[in-house]
Amino acid sequence: MKDEERVLLDEWSAQRPEYKIFVRDGILNKSLYTASNPKIAILLKESNDDFVEIAPLTTDGYGPNGNSSHFWRNINIYTYIATCAWNNINPIYDDIHEITEKQVNSIAYINVKKNAENKSVSNDNEILEYSERDQPFLRKQLRIIQPQIVFCGNTKKCYDFIEDSSFLKHNVYLGKNRLVIDYYHPSYAFGFEKHVEILSTCLFDSDVQRAIQEVKSAGY
């Protein structure tokens, strides 16, 4: 039986022949993602350079180095704080280096725009148009992947085209069986410690913690 993600991307690509280079993304490593608690996805705008065959992984993982010295390292911070908050564990980040230098391999990585044009700077209106045009496919991709937490890297408006969510507190929303976090793009650099501070404030908030327990108790 073919993998659901692959079937979807094949159908999506066939329906969009004008996308000359189709981005294939999604769950990086299925076994690691399935074992993750919580399952985390990051929703980004579009691929840069030739980063188009993103998932599944053909290596052990991505990073910590890349086009941006912060990109993969920040994703590690996002993942670490979210995992601690989900499991109500106090984060220990005395050694930021240990957290940030790991390879990224246990998340789902989703681009709104599957049409790779190697743009270093995205046009936000164009990205919104892609989220509206490909909404059925993006929605199905999320439903196949079933993340429990979605980090929107400056893509919350795009997420709003895909599925509904309601404001919870800070920049956290309650989506369909998941938390949706309206947050910075991982390339945004203002210090790892600042990301830790902001995310800890958001995700360890008592109202957000109650929402996490509700999602978990519902069996998602």
pLDDT value at residue 191: 85
Query: Average pLDDT in the 175-195 region?
Result: 91
How far apart (Å, rounded) are the C-alpha atoms in residues 26 and 11? 15
Q: Encoding tokens for residue 24?
A: 């294939």
For residues 205 and 173, is the Cβ–Cβ distance under 8 A? no
pLDDT value at residue 190: 83
For 102-169, give the DSSP string. Answer: SPB-SSEEEES--B----SS--HHHHHHHHHHTHHHHHHHHHHH--SEEEEES-HHHHHHHS--EEEE
Query: Average pLDDT in the 12-30 region?
Result: 97
Question: Going by DSSP bridges, is the β-strand pair 172-175/149-153 parallel, antiparallel, or unpaired?
Answer: unpaired
CATH code that applies to domain 4-217: 3.40.470
Question: Which sequence spans correspond to the domains of the chain?
Answer: 4-217
pLDDT value at residue 118: 80
pLDDT value at residue 1: 40
pLDDT beyond 80 at 49:
no
How far apart (Å, rounded) are the C-alpha atoms in residues 204 and 199? 8
pLDDT band of residue 133 (cuts 50, 70, 90) is very high
Q: Is 216 helix (H, G, I), strand (E, B) or coil?
A: helix
pLDDT beyond 90 at 219:
no
Q: 3-class secondary structure for 66-109?
A: CCCCCHHHHHHHHHHHHHHHHCCCCCCCCCHHHHHCCCECCCEE
How far apart (Å, rounded) are the C-alpha atoms in residues 102 and 93? 14
Residue 27's identity, in one-letter code, is I
The rounded percent of the chain whose pLDDT value lies above 70 is 98
For the entire predicted model, the pTM comes to 0.95
- Flag the least confident range among 16-20, 79-83, 90-94: 90-94
- Flag the least confident range among 87-101, 124-138, 165-179: 87-101
pLDDT band of residue 2 (cuts 50, 70, 90) is low
Whole-number average pLDDT of the chain: 93
Residue position matching structure tokens 């159908």: 11
Q: Encoding tokens for residue 160?
A: 């709003």
How far apart (Å, rounded) are the C-alpha atoms in residues 132 and 128? 6
Task: Report the run of H or E that residue 181 belongs to, with start and end.
Answer: strand 178-183
